[in-house]
Amino acid sequence: MKNAFSYRLKSIKSLVLAVGAAVLTASVAHAQDSGALIDALVKKGVLSDQEAEDIRVDLTKEYNTTSAGKIELSSFISHLKLFGDARLRYNYSNAQTYSATPAPAGGPASGHVNNNDESQYRWRLRLGAEYTYDPHWSAVVRLETATGNDSTNTDFGNYFDKTANTIYVGQVYLRYQNQFSLFDSTSTVANGKNFNTVTDPGVDAGVDIVVGRGPSQITLSEAFWDDDLNPDGLAEQFTFKHVGVEGLTLAARGAEYITSDNSTNGLATVVGGNSTTSSTSKNESAYLFIAQLEAKYEFAPKTNVVISPLFLTETPGTYNGIATTLPEQSGNDYATSNTNLAVLGGLNVVAIPLEFNFPLFGQPNKVYGTYGANLTPVDRLQRIEGFPGEAGGGVAAYANQHGQNTFWNAGYQIGELKKKGDWQLSAEYRWIEALSYTPNLSDSDWANGVLGQQGVALKAAYSFTDFLTANVIYYHSNPIRPEGGDAVGAVNGIYGSTGAEGQADIIQGNLNWKF
């Protein structure tokens, strides 16, 4: 009998060890599960206190021999998720620039066009970790290659050197999320001789707040918000479901981003008269403020329409102590660009993104578009060019550019990449006038990142596996020319180009994989 009992006890102990070790190996957070099992067996009298303690010691030893046992997380972290991706890219571009300004109205004459052909072999790497503290709080840190605000690419070549293999902080942010009900109530309703309790769930509300350098909360096409942007500052989103119309979801979003800190000598200030250098000590940070309302109505599963009007405004900031080459001024302050950023300020943009999603041919389909306008194009022009003096022909010489304040796109997409075998095709037309927006936000690949352009973006993509995808993208663009003037030469040259931007054809082939 004693041997039978000992055999039974060893069997139970082995079972506890096996279950506990499996739980511990699966996750550090589940360590409490094995402890609860041991405590329950002690209460049932199956194990003595000493036997329970021996099992705990054995479990700890077993756990310390596993890979999970070598990772120690802070007690306030409930979950850790590691993620990352890499990309190989071949990029070919043929871009034209005009060597004479203004170019002839009927097109550039012989000798006025420079054809620039370029092939690039590029790569990028992004590695991140998401720390979950509880159901509401989390934090993300993501490292990535390249320093540009709108690109994570770095180049191959230079005979295999690693000088460009530096990793930078691409994202670091804290996030708060919560869901709750508004206006929920219960009431008692008579039902014959009985009474029934009726519950009104009210409105389902959600809040999502991101602070730091993180992903955008704003709904806006890639044409006007580059996918590689990681804005700095604060973003908040509030969602509301069951608002009285079945299938309707409302969202309110806000973003307060810092575009240039007042301690950074990134911009120059010119003050008054004919001075071309700063004469007044004045430091102000530059900001980007965005407000957006969104309504999504679902007609049927996977069939919905979304409209997301927004207002975007940008302040220029002012900096002193840096010489500038702006033309003669008229007593106001103007900011000009450094080598990395286009001119800040002069933007008060209203835009209306719209999309319609529906299933067709067994695939998700999307028709989408955006129409927007800068309400202050003259101010934008003044910040780029300054008020020209008499030698420059006065403001009237730039009259034809004052109307260059609208942008829009329209596109169609079929398919979506989620798993092995998925495919996607899309075609989009884009029109972005010279004073309508900022190249600090627009797609840096299309039209070489400059404005005053019109053209198309075509894309085909395929998923070889759940983690490996490939795509081919073709961009084509031409300058937008107003009647009687060359806005491209007068305005676009400020955006980093050596002359007026002409036609551009760009082909990209990308191989992407996830970690």
- pLDDT, tens only, 431-463: 998 889 988 899 989 988 888 889 999 999 999
Same domain? For 171 and 227 the reply is: yes
Same domain? For 348 and 424 the reply is: yes
Question: How many domains, in total, are found in the chain?
Answer: 2
Give the pLDDT score at 329.
Answer: 31
Count, in order, helices (H) and strands (E) of the chain.
5, 22
Instruction: Give the integer Cα–Cα distance in Å for 185 and 92.
Output: 62
Residue 133 has a CB neighbour count (10 Å cut-off) of: 15
* Residue 126 placed within a domain: no
Instruction: Give the integer Cα–Cα distance in Å for 217 and 142.
Output: 17
The residue out of 42, 70, 98 marking a domain boundary is 70
Same domain? For 301 and 408 the reply is: yes
Same domain? For 35 and 114 the reply is: no
pTM for the full model?
0.77
Same domain? For 223 and 279 the reply is: yes
Alpha helices, H only, 347-495:
377-385, 487-491
Same domain? For 116 and 15 the reply is: no
Task: Evaluate if residue 401 carries a pLDDT over 90.
Answer: no
* Residue 144 placed within a domain: yes
pLDDT digits (tens, 9 = 90+) for 267-317: 443 333 333 444 444 467 789 999 999 999 999 999 999 999 999 999 887
* Residue 130 placed within a domain: no
Task: Evaluate if residue 139 carries a pLDDT over 70.
Answer: yes
Same domain? For 43 and 142 the reply is: no
- The residue segments making up the domain with residue 145 are 81-121+138-514
Same domain? For 257 and 384 the reply is: yes
Same domain? For 249 and 337 the reply is: yes
* Residue 498 placed within a domain: yes
Instruction: Give the three-class secondary structure for 505.
Output: strand
Q: Which residues are CB-contacts of 20 (< 8 A; sequence separation ≥ 6)?
A: 33, 34, 37, 38, 55, 59, 62
Q: How much is the average pLDDT of 108-133?
A: 81
Instruction: Give the integer Cα–Cα distance in Å for 133 and 348.
Output: 39
Same domain? For 48 and 89 the reply is: no
Same domain? For 171 and 34 the reply is: no
* Residue 131 placed within a domain: no
Residue 89 bridge partners (DSSP): 122, 510
Q: Give, in order, the Cα–Cα distances in Å from 393 to each of 21, 48, 266, 397, 515.
A: 82, 98, 30, 5, 58
Task: Evaluate if residue 207 carries a pLDDT over 90.
Answer: yes
| Confidence class for position 155, pLDDT limits 50, 70, 90 | confident
Q: What is the DSSP string of 364-433?
A: EEEEEEEEEEES-HHHHHHHHH----GGGT-GGGGGGGTT--EEEEEEEEEE--SSTT-EEEEEEEEEE-
- First CA to last CA across the chain, in angstroms? 56
* Residue 203 placed within a domain: yes
* Residue 303 placed within a domain: yes
